[in-house]
Amino acid sequence: MARKVKETDDLPKAKLNKTSIKNTKRLFSYIGEHKWKLYLGMFFLLLTGGTALLFPMMLGGLVKTIEQKHFDAINKIGLYLLLVLTAQSFFSYFRVYLFVNYTENTLAKLRQAVYSHMITLPMTFFAQKRVGDLNSRMSADIAQIQDTLTTTIAEFLRQFILIIGGIILLLVISPKLTLMMLAIVPVVAVAAVIFGRFIRKTSRAVQEKIAESGTVIEETLQGITNVKAFANEFFENRRYKKSTEEIVNIAIQGGKYRGGFASFIIFCLFGAIVAVIWYGVVLASHDQLLIGDLISFILYSAFVGASFGGIAELYAQIQKAVGAVERVFEILDDVPEVLEINEHRKVVNRIAGNVEFRDVVFTYPSRLEVEVLKGVTIKAEKGETIAVVGPSGSGKSTLVALLLRFYDPQGGKILIDGKDAKEYSLTDLRNNMAIVPQDVLLFGGSIKENIAYGKPDATIEEIAEAARKANALDFIDGFPEKFETLVGERGIKLSGGQRQRIAIARAVLKDPSILILDEATSSLDSESERVVQEALDKLMVGRTSFVIAHRLSTIRKADKIIVIDKGLVRESGTHEELMQQESGLYRSLSRMQTELA
């Protein structure tokens, strides 16, 4: 009953049509030099199909030696059977081996192609698809393709060979009995499949209900303090009881169907066998059929029946795989950003760092109804520090995303050193910038590797120097393994301030002309903030810096402070200038924060 739901179970099916043929061709283009393995595998597949068809004939022949009193042939046929068996095992081994081999090679190429394509897709792609979804969908889709290429297609063809070959041989043995058999067996087999699928659906429904009641438990336990504080034990009890009672009802209903299925199988399937054997014996009694042939006949019928039953499910699997292939290619057909991926990421064209937002209008492609920036103009000379403040949701991070060209503005321009940002290559542009965000993501790996993310070919001396400048050397030296200390999921957990300093060290190594600090110190306690701020101050020297800050105390020294609200620049000037504006937004924000502090 508790059948495990595989990740591929939920995949939708796709119709087989012209596109799927095109996609299949495209999929097979990833085979490359491994194509011969597929062909040879197919050849072995044909051979196994052929040898499988020999068995019933030979077994029948073995029985016929008795009927026809050819006793001397018994050992000979036995020996042939052994030979066929050996050949069959041999072919099967190579068939499976070759199919797995070509599939894995093809899929590795497909996976690499999809991954390397996916990470070059523009931010709009990631904004529209949930990353978790994408990941699990990709793995389910690829698993489906994998199953299909390794086994489903081969099985499908094998069953097909068995059905066609089996029916021909049945007709050869006895056309009368064949017609009688074909009138019953396939019908019963197909009915069994449909019935079986229906039952699986009901057991799926039970599982979903069970999962639902599991959620009730989970929610209650996670929020147990709430449950108790609200004295809601009774309410939760009722909720759980209702949910378990629903399981009982659905499961009992499912039990009825399964009972029905069992009787159906017993009556119809065995009934069909009985009918065929009965008619066969009738024919034999009229000397129209040898018992040995009847045995061959029964075995072929079993082959044909089983293949009819299996082929429907295989076809469904193939349809799912076709859908999976379509979805994978959908990703591959999305238009990527134009990046010049190079391994060493040398800055080819050094940017001086004059930045100008000129009347920038922007709306996120995934949320067309909200205009986030409504004509923003900001000018930063090279080396200046520009602070951007404003309520949350006012579009500060969006400015940064535009500067990094994660998106392009719909109106206005961003000029860098007087040239439209669109005229730079994305790789060049981004190589000249570094960002220290509020939440720094470290990759699984050593501290050394994480710092070197800013410059993959950095030497250990450079890395240590960067760490020193980032005020990170002290805490790194405090770990027994120093720069080799593992961080991320399987390593140690660094505090927010420590992660921030790793990010600063990354930026130091990258040595950018334009530096972006998006609330870099907002989530730190005041002690870490002090160390991080000190490192940031050093980092900002000589670079055009955009500092987005929550705490206004950190940006007093900025060359220019921009206050944005609801997508527009409301005020701009130095701290002193802005403080002089009687009813200014900055002044009131600043007052509020000093009072709170």
The footprint of Mg ion (CB under 5 A) covers 397
Q: Which CB, 144 or 397, lies closer to Mg ion?
A: 397
- Binders of ligand ADP in range 387-406 (CB under 6 A): 390, 392-398
Q: Which CB, 150 or 398, lies closer to ligand ADP?
A: 398
Distance CA 255, CA 203 (A): 9
**HEC per residue, 91-105:** HHHHHHHHHHHHHHH
372 contact choice in Mg ion, ligand ADP, none (CB below 5 to 8 Å, kind-dependent): ligand ADP
Q: Which CB, 96 or 585, lies closer to ligand ADP?
A: 585
Residue 339 host element (H or E):
none
Distance CA 568, CA 374 (A): 6
DSSP code for 150: I
Q: Which span sits near ligand ADP by CB under 6 A: 28-36, 254-262, 386-394, 575-583?
A: 386-394
Q: Which CB, 38 or 548, lies closer to ligand ADP?
A: 548
368 contact choice in ligand ADP, Mg ion, none (CB below 5 to 8 Å, kind-dependent): none
Minimum gap (Å) between residue 127 Cβ and ligand ADP: 4
Distance CA 483, CA 464 (A): 8
Other Cβ atoms within 10 Å of 505 Cβ, number: 30
Minimum gap (Å) between residue 546 Cβ and Mg ion: 12
What interhelical angle do 233-264 and 175-222 show, nearest 10? 170
> Strands 568-573, 560-565: parallel, antiparallel or unpaired by DSSP?
antiparallel
410 contact choice in Mg ion, ligand ADP, none (CB below 5 to 8 Å, kind-dependent): none
Contact 403, 355 (CB under 8 A): yes
Minimum gap (Å) between residue 404 Cβ and ligand ADP: 13
Contact 121, 334 (CB under 8 A): yes
Phi, psi of 546, deg, nearest 5: -105, 115
Q: Which CB, 174 or 397, lies closer to Mg ion?
A: 397
Minimum gap (Å) between residue 339 Cβ and ligand ADP: 20
Size of the site for ligand ADP (CB under 6 A): 14
Q: Which CB, 450 or 521, lies closer to ligand ADP?
A: 521
Q: Which CB, 308 or 407, lies closer to ligand ADP?
A: 407
Minimum gap (Å) between residue 23 Cβ and Mg ion: 41
Between 111 and 140, how does the x/- string for binding to ligand ADP read (CB under 6 A)? ----------------x-------------
Largest CA distance in the chain: 119
Contact 553, 579 (CB under 8 A): no
**Does 422 help bind ligand ADP (rule: CB under 6 A)?**
no
Q: Which CB, 401 or 433, lies closer to ligand ADP?
A: 401
Minimum gap (Å) between residue 524 Cβ and ligand ADP: 18
Q: Which CB, 408 or 428, lies closer to ligand ADP?
A: 408
DSSP string, 267-323: IIIHHHHHHHHHHHHHHHHTTSS-HHHHHHHHHHHHHHHHHHHHHHHHHHHHHHHHH
20 contact choice in Mg ion, ligand ADP, none (CB below 5 to 8 Å, kind-dependent): none
299 contact choice in ligand ADP, Mg ion, none (CB below 5 to 8 Å, kind-dependent): none
Give how far Cα 427 sits from Cα of 47, 76, 120, 404, 422, Å.
54, 75, 11, 10, 12
Distance CA 378, CA 514 (A): 15
394 contact choice in Mg ion, ligand ADP, none (CB below 5 to 8 Å, kind-dependent): ligand ADP
Angle at 186 between CA 180 and CA 187, to 5 degrees: 95
Distance CA 466, CA 473 (A): 9
Q: Which CB, 475 or 546, lies closer to Mg ion?
A: 546
Distance CA 136, CA 133 (A): 5
305 contact choice in ligand ADP, Mg ion, none (CB below 5 to 8 Å, kind-dependent): none
Minimum gap (Å) between residue 569 Cβ and Mg ion: 16
Q: Is 345 helix (H, G, I), strand (E, B) or coil?
A: coil
* Exposure on the CB side of residue 449, measured as CA atoms within 13 A: 11
Q: Look-up: residue for tokens 């011969």?
A: 36
Q: Which CB, 208 or 359, lies closer to ligand ADP?
A: 359
135 contact choice in ligand ADP, Mg ion, none (CB below 5 to 8 Å, kind-dependent): none
Distance CA 497, CA 532 (A): 7
Amino acid at 422: K
Q: Which CB, 189 or 355, lies closer to ligand ADP?
A: 355
> Strands 445-446, 486-487: parallel, antiparallel or unpaired by DSSP?
antiparallel
Distance CA 310, CA 162 (A): 11
- Binders of ligand ADP in range 357-376 (CB under 6 A): 364, 366-367, 370, 372
Minimum gap (Å) between residue 587 Cβ and ligand ADP: 20
> Strands 355-363, 371-380: parallel, antiparallel or unpaired by DSSP?
antiparallel
Distance CA 397, CA 518 (A): 7
* Paired tokens of 574: 């130095």
127 contact choice in Mg ion, ligand ADP, none (CB below 5 to 8 Å, kind-dependent): ligand ADP
Minimum gap (Å) between residue 163 Cβ and ligand ADP: 54
395 contact choice in ligand ADP, Mg ion, none (CB below 5 to 8 Å, kind-dependent): ligand ADP
Q: Which CB, 61 or 395, lies closer to ligand ADP?
A: 395
Residues binding ligand ADP (CB under 6 A): 127, 364, 366-367, 370, 372, 390, 392-398
